[in-house]
Amino acid sequence: MAHLQNMLLINIIKYNKLDVSKLVTHKFNGIDKLEEVYNFIESKDAELIKPIVIM
């Protein structure tokens, strides 16, 4: 059941039926930023809600 729900959500996002851009609070460009992202998450910054890494 959970797998089906995940697939449904992925398709909703994929076909632009849900704007998830408002959920993203921080963007990091490139795999070389992973350590920075990890450290930021570990710091438990109050502004951090949903970071993403763009590859």
Please tell me the pTM assigned to this model. Answer: 0.52
Residues facing residue 52 across a β-bridge: 27
Summarised one tens digit per residue, pLDDT across range 2-54 is 888 888 888 888 888 878 777 788 888 888 988 888 888 888 777 777 777 77
Task: Note whether residue 31 is domain-resident.
Answer: yes
Task: Note whether residue 49 is domain-resident.
Answer: yes
Task: Note whether residue 53 is domain-resident.
Answer: yes
> Count of domains in the chain?
1
Is 30 in contact with 53 (CB distance < 8 Å)?
yes
Q: Which domain holds residue 30?
A: 21-55
The pLDDT assigned to 48 comes to: 74
Q: Is the pLDDT of residue 1 over 80?
A: no
Task: Note whether residue 16 is domain-resident.
Answer: no
